[in-house]
């Protein structure tokens, strides 16, 4: 420094901060804040992931599988009691345990809903009420009087769905003449003929065939009491239903039903008997090794009734094992209540649990993952089923949803099992590869002609079955869906078939199916959050750029429907009222995870929406590593049949946290 004449040094005075300096400092401070938030979020995610991993590992069965309870609605429990009443197999202890569960599910307004927090549903309320009457509840008890008053306000028994009125007809509470007809001769329709049995989805097909026998036999067992309190006018319990215009589809099928009623009176008896024998043979050929039918409760119930009406004694091996299989759908609760599962989901739960644990960083050769893979390998189906009616030359190789269901493997489970197996380091890799090759070949062979995939069948898209007056119980056809198609596309990319023309057709189908709002409809999960959570990881897996307009629209939609608490939720009512409910509902662990999986695949790891979602999962986790989730986020039939998969609240949050921390399909790990 040099001295000046005034004795000061020659140092320059401090420079005043410029506007650009202030902007740079703000950016730096903002970056430091973001990094701190990112680190805080990552730390919270690590703790939550570790707890969730330990909890999920603890739930594995010694045989290698996982299975959470599959909760639906009380019609399963009511119809179980009605079946036992019809067959004369009442058990007082079982009846009271079932009644305890049914009473516990009643809503404050006296109704029963089909999903948690949902509105009362007429047919469900009627069946629950009748079941409680069978259990001894008096009609003038406050909870019963409230229920019957609501039923009358909604139109009474006459306004109930067909299946409810069939159950009531079995006891003389409704007239068979006032029910739609489906004759057993339906089985003789050739496979190319409209409304042949293979035009129905497999779940409907398994139910309708036995019900054709029930409809032809029209049995009535004496009712133990009257149900006058459930009619709007007990003097006219069976009011006629108005006819739709003859030029409409509904009018056409109503008049067809009238013709079938006339046919019932004049049917050629030898032909009718032969048709019922053919239906019985069809049913028996599809009984599984454990005695059930299709691994689901409703077809088992109706198959038992149908065969019993044809003279099969309850001690006959077919009925004895069938009845025994129904007991395996029962779940005993801590309070002694008995809940009936509509079906069981061990294959689905096991492949999802395996994916979750692997994505969370559990080593690929971890003994429990290897054990899960071993169990899944043993469950691969190696014989043809009903799917082969339309694909007779296609070798088998799929997986079903349930413990025993060799006749109906499904495309969704097969795709996810492949993704799970490929995450495990199995000691016999050649065995795994062979299983994967068979599965991929089968899934590719099950592609529908429009490029998408349905759940169980190929091109099961005829609009006619849904028009039948008999079919008012939910979806009866198996249309290709975005969620199933996305899972198949993701699997095909994982096995190196990204550029296969069939994969590209699937991708094109997905892009064409995007809703204008930016989301995808969810057929088997609720709803637009599930569809979008399935599709974006698939698009990322096949290399669709994150900048693609479809991806950006989906991201904007997810960000726009995020709840103020940071989570995501969607109510079942979005199936009926998209404008009000799509992407709207109380935050749930599974739906928050689906949204996160989608956003992570779209490259939004450092976005505010992902950070808030991850922190919501961490903040709502229980001490034992699980999450509460009373809401129903699974779908059997959109709106008509909703499911609470009790393991969803565990596997999907762990998958999302794992992909946030460790990367995953098309996602880079933290810090990359």
Quick check: 96 and 84 in contact, CB under 8 A?
no
Which strands form 70-71's sheet, in the order they lie side by side?
A: 70-71, 641-645, 634-637
What token pair was written down for 640? 């008509």
* Residues whose CB is less than 8 angstroms from the CB of residue 620 and which lie 6 or more positions away in sequence, other chains included: 567, 587, 589, 627, 628
The reply to whether 564 belongs to the active site is no
Return d(Cα 669, Cα 672) in angstroms, integer.
Answer: 6
Integer CA distances (angstroms), 245 to 238, 241, 464, 519, in order: 22, 13, 17, 37
Radius of gyration of the chain (CA): 28
Query: Does an H or E element contain 102, and which?
Result: helix 92-104
Return d(Cα 301, Cα 251) in angstroms, integer.
Answer: 31
Return d(Cα 573, Cα 527) in angstroms, integer.
Answer: 9
CB under 8 Å, gap of 24 or more: what pairs does 139-143 form?
A: 139/229, 143/103, 143/106, 143/110
Return d(Cα 446, Cα 397) in angstroms, integer.
Answer: 11
| DSSP secondary structure letter of residue 48 | H
Any idea of the CA torsion for 465, 466, 472, 473, to the nearest 10 degrees? 80
Strands (E), 327-414: 330-332, 338-340
Comparing CA positions, the residue from 525, 531, 532, 476 lying closest to residue 632 is 525
Q: Which residue has the tokens 């991850």?
A: 614
Q: Cβ of 353: how many Cβ atoms within 10 Å?
A: 27
Number of residues written out for the chain = 672
Quick check: 297 and 76 in contact, CB under 8 A?
yes
Comparing CA positions, the residue from 607, 521, 611 lying closest to residue 556 is 607
Query: Does an H or E element contain 570, and which?
Result: none
Residue ranges of the alpha helices (H) in 135-201? 142-153, 162-169
Query: φ, ψ for residue 101 (rounded to 5)?
Result: -65, -45
Integer CA distances (angstroms), 555 to 478, 562, 599, in order: 29, 11, 6
Q: Cβ of 512: how many Cβ atoms within 10 Å?
A: 11
Burial zone of 102 (CB within 10 Å; 0-12 exposed, 13-18 middle, 19+ buried): buried
**Residues pairing with 635 in the sheet:** 642
Integer CA distances (angstroms), 474 to 467, 636, 639, 656, in order: 11, 9, 8, 32
Kindly tell me the sign of the dihedral angle through the C-alpha atoms of 135, 139, 145, 151.
positive
Strands 641-645 and 634-637: antiparallel
> Which is catalytic among the residues 386, 412, 413, 571?
412
| Residue 641 three-state SS | strand
Quick check: 186 and 236 in contact, CB under 8 A?
no
Q: Cβ of 361: how many Cβ atoms within 10 Å?
A: 15
| Residue 370 three-state SS | helix
* Residues whose CB is less than 8 angstroms from the CB of residue 256 and which lie 6 or more positions away in sequence, other chains included: none
Which of the residues are catalytic? 412
């Amino acid at each position: 420094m040099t001295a000046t004449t005034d004795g000061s040094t020659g140092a320059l005075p401090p420079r005043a901060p410029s506007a650009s300096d202030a902007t740079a400092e703000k950016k730096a401070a903002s970056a430091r804040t973001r990094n701190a938030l990112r680190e805080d979020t990552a730390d919270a995610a690590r703790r939550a992931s570790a707890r969730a991993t330990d909890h999920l590992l603890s739930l594995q069965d010694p045989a290698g599988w996982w299975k959470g309870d599959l909760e639906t609605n009380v019609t399963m429990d009511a119809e179980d009691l009605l079946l036992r009443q019809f067959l004369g197999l009442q058990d007082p202890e079982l009846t009271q345990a079932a009644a305890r569960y049914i009473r516990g599910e009643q809503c404050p307004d006296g109704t029963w809903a089909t999903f948690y927090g949902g509105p009362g549903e007429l047919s469900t309320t009627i069946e629950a009420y009748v079941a409680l009457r069978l259990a001894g509840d008096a009609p003038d008890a406050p909870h019963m009087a409230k229920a019957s008053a609501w039923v009358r306000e909604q139109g009474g028994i006459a306004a109930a769905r067909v299946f409810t009125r069939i159950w009531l007809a079995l006891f003389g509470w409704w007239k068979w003449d006032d029910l739609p007809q489906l004759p057993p001769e339906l089985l003789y329709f050739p496979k190319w003929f409209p409304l042949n049995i293979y035009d129905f989805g497999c779940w409907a097909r398994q139910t309708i065939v036995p019900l054709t026998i029930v409809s032809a036999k029209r049995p009535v067992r004496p009712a133990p009491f009257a149900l006058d309190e459930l009619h709007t006018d007990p003097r006219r319990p069976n009011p006629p239903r108005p006819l739709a215009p003859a030029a409409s589809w509904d009018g056409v099928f109503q008049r067809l039903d009238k013709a079938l009623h006339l046919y019932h009176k004049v049917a050629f008896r030898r032909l009718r008997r032969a048709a019922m024998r053919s239906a019985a043979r069809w049913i028996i050929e599809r009984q599984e090794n454990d005695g059930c039918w299709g691994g689901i409760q409703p077809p088992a119930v109706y198959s038992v009734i149908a065969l019993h009406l044809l003279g099969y004694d309850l001690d006959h091996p077919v009925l004895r094992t069938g009845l025994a299989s129904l007991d395996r759908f029962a779940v005993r609760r801590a309070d002694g209540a008995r809940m009936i599962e509509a079906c069981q989901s061990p294959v689905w739960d096991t492949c999802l649990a395996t994916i979750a644990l692997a994505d969370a960083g559990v080593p690929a050769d971890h003994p429990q993952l290897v054990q899960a893979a071993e169990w899944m390998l043993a469950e691969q189906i190696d014989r043809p089923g009903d799917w082969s009616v339309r694909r007779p030359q296609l070798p088998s190789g799929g997986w079903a949803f349930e413990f025993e269901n060799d006749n109906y493997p499904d495309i969704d489970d097969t795709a996810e099992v492949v993704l799970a197996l490929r995450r495990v380091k199995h000691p016999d890799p050649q065995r795994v590869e062979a299983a994967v090759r068979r599965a991929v070949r089968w899934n590719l062979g099950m592609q529908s002609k429009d490029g998408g995939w349905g759940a169980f069948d190929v091109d099961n898209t005829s609009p006619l079955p849904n028009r039948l007056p008999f079919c008012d119980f939910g979806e009866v056809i198996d249309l290709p869906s975005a969620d199933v198609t996305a899972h198949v596309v993701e699997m095909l990319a994982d096995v190196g078939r990204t550029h296969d023309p069939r994969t590209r057709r699937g991708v094109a189908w997905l892009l064409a199916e995007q809703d204008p709002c930016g989301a995808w409809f969810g057929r088997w999960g609720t709803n637009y959050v599930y569809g979008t959570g399935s599709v974006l990881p698939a698009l990322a897996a096949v290399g669709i750029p994150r900048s693609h307009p479809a991806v950006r629209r989906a991201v904007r939609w997810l960000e726009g429907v995020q709840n103020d608490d940071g989570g995501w939720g969607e109510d079942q009512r979005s199936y009926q009222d998209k404008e009000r409910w799509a992407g709207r509902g109380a935050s749930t662990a599974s739906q928050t995870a689906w949204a996160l999986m989608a956003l992570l695949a779209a490259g939004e790891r450092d976005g505010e929406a992902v950070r808030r979602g991850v922190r919501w999962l961490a903040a709502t986790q229980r001490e034992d590593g699980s999450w509460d989730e009373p809401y129903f986020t699974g779908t059997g039939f959109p709106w008509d049949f909703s499911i609470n998969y009790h393991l969803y609240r565990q596997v999907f949050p762990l998958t999302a946290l794992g992909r946030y921390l460790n990367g995953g399909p098309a996602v880079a790990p933290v810090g990359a």
